[in-house]
Structure 1
Amino acid sequence: MATMGNIIFWSMIVLIIAFSTLIILILALSLSNDSSSTSSVVSRDRFPLANLGQDVLLSCHLTVAAAVQVTGAVAVTWTKAYLSGEVYKYQDSAPQLEDQNPQFDGRTQVFPDAVARGNGSLLIMAVTSRDDGVYTCSISSSNLDGSVHIHLRTAAYSKPTFSVKDGTLTAMGSRWQPEPEVTWLDSKGTVLQGITLFTENPTGMYSFVSSLKQVNVPTTYTFKVQNLLVTATSSTNVTGSGVTEKTTFSFSSSTVPVLSPSRFLLPLSGLLMYAVGCT
């Protein structure tokens, strides 16, 4: 009859094997992602950011050298990680949508003239938060094939509007998601104390009203509204006749990090030492 020590020992061995398998899988995925950079299929933007409710074009095309060499009809297939069915498929010079996931019904298309030249870029219309995720674009012909992974991120953002009255400068914004933060700064970059009210509607969109009291005239203030993905920076010039502004948007390139195998090595070594100690 097995002793408790033996049971614990073999349990640890099973766990070590399981974790080792996971490490191998992660390495394989990392290598496959790296290999996409040498594929004959590339994307101009592998981490696009779409504004919710608007359309987005996911870039996918053959490299110049591959496009020159292509022969025969070109087929394009788009899939999405963890989603059954296909996002879109174009083959034999026509859409093939029998296996299309209902989420994308009537909302996706490629462009036949572009496909014939090796460009399989996909248009997704009226983007929703459900569209966020990793897509794979595969292009093939009679003499070549390749694929590229594209991580589509979604957010809602809009340009703020400004008004000034009785010495109070007010910024208003709508359609922000995830929830944003706002910051007022003076012309020297010093953070100022404003009063901000956020409102969330039933769809999860945020709007805000932010006020800065006792502003100087004339002077310039900077107003920033940002969430994890988007930052809107507005330079507001307050004069005796009102306020003028110029707003620029910047977008985060951050994505969900791939877990490094080294994060598992220390726990695995600890498990092994524990298992040996139990024998």
Structure 2
Amino acid sequence: MLWSSVFTNPISSLTFSVSPEELRAHPFTDVTLSCHFSFVEGTENLEFSWEREDITEEYEVENDEEYYRFFRHYDFFAIYSKLVYQFHNNTEQLEDQNSLYEGRVSVDRTEISEGSLSLLLRNVDFMDEAIYKCSAITPDGRGESTIKIIVEDSEMPQVRFDKIDDEDVATCVSKGWYLTPNVTWMDRAERDLSNHSTVEVLEEQINGFYRVFAVLRYPVKLNEKYVCQITETDVNNQPFRVIRKYPKRKYPQGYDFYLEI
């Protein structure tokens, strides 16, 4: 049984909270989670780690069945380790690392002497949407910082220029796998050029998901900037956000706490 509470100052009636820095990323790209401490001057006697916490949206619900069904689903994810990256004794310690991050994260050791413990996260996916905590300890100090990754609902793959039948075209290839993808092309002025494009299946999996190859014929100008955006139109395959639902408050308004089972 876990009790969580929020206290307000009866004199000033003020509450204080610190929100983590927010980093927005498109799926299937690489991102750097920044972390810097002035007391870190090298790897000697340094211990630091990156851990993740789920992002939760909290609100009350009337339906108790919906509340309990949610918590059974939420507990399933509790089996995963929170550890994303760990370093001590002058080396990486990844034995307890969450398997979702195996081979996908690294810290540039050449930047540690400048106080930077920033984490490179490769090939971001919707499951990576979370709050990440960077913690460090040395004989000269200790500190923590947090950053929240929000994964956008669309992929924006790199656009390349090519020639097809002696015609200049722009092309893009999806890194992600989609069941019902929608490809949108825009120019520098954000005009929708999708009617001048074609989409072909590049590679298909047994489960019906596939990668796509898209071609824009506008006519294309080589000095113009084009954006290719790919979204999943099937709501069942769009990114999953954790929503924590509490039962309707059963205590007087003066008691500002919730009971979690």
TM-score normalised per structure 2: 0.52
Q: 1:139 to 1:50 in 2, by over 3 A?
A: farther
Match of 2:161 in 1: 161
1:118: how far off?
Answer: 2.3
SS at match of 1:47: strand
| AA partner of residue 131 (structure 1) | D
1:198 aligns with 2:176: no
**Overall identity of the aligned pairs, in %:** 19
Match of 1:61 in 2: 36
Match of 2:225 in 1: 247
1:207 aligns with 2:213: yes
Q: Which has the higher contact order (CA 8 A, sep 6+)?
A: 2
Match of 1:18 in 2: none
Pick from 46, 62, 65 the counterpart of residue 74 of structure 1.
Answer: 46
1:87 aligns with 2:87: no
Q: 1:73 to 1:165 in 2, by over 3 A?
A: same
Q: 1:78 to 1:24 in 2, by over 3 A?
A: same
Structure 1 vs Structure 2 CA RMSD? 4.9
Does the aligned pair in 2 maintain the 1:77–1:90 contact within 8 Å?
yes
1:47: how far off?
Answer: 0.5
Does the aligned pair in 1 maintain the 2:197–2:215 contact within 8 Å?
yes
1:93: how far off?
Answer: 1.9
| AA partner of residue 77 (structure 1) | S
Match of 2:184 in 1: 182
Q: 1:247 to 1:114 in 2, by over 3 A?
A: same
Q: 1:118 to 1:73 in 2, by over 3 A?
A: farther
Matching of residues 16-31 of structure 1 within 5 Å = 24=6
Q: Give structure 2 stretches of 5+ with no counterpart.
A: 8-14, 55-79, 230-239, 254-261
1:180: how far off?
Answer: 4.9
TM-score normalised per structure 1: 0.49
1:98 aligns with 2:95: yes
Matching of residues 228-239 of structure 1 within 5 Å = 236-237=220-221
Match of 2:23 in 1: 47
| AA partner of residue 150 (structure 1) | I
1:150-184, Cα deviation, whole Å (9 max, x unpaired): 23337451214355869x87543221658454356
Does the aligned pair in 2 maintain the 1:71–1:143 contact within 8 Å?
no
Match of 2:75 in 1: none
1:112-134, Cα deviation, whole Å (9 max, x unpaired): 34334421112334545543433
Does the aligned pair in 2 maintain the 1:93–1:112 contact within 8 Å?
no
Distance 2:5 2:127 in 1: 29
Distance 1:31 1:128 in 2: 32
| AA partner of residue 106 (structure 1) | G
1:115 aligns with 2:90: no
Does the aligned pair in 1 maintain the 2:47–2:88 contact within 8 Å?
yes
Q: Give structure 1 stretches of 5+ with no counterpart.
A: 1-20, 37-44, 216-235, 238-243, 273-279
Aligned residues between the structures: 194
Q: Highest CA radius of gyration, 1 or 2?
A: 1
Q: 1:91 to 1:169 in 2, by over 3 A?
A: closer
| AA partner of residue 184 (structure 2) | V
Q: 1:248 to 1:47 in 2, by over 3 A?
A: farther
* Structure holding more helix per residue: 1
1:240-276, Cα deviation, whole Å (9 max, x unpaired): xxxx23336699xxxx99x9xxxx9xx98xxx9xxxx
Q: 1:162 to 1:112 in 2, by over 3 A?
A: closer
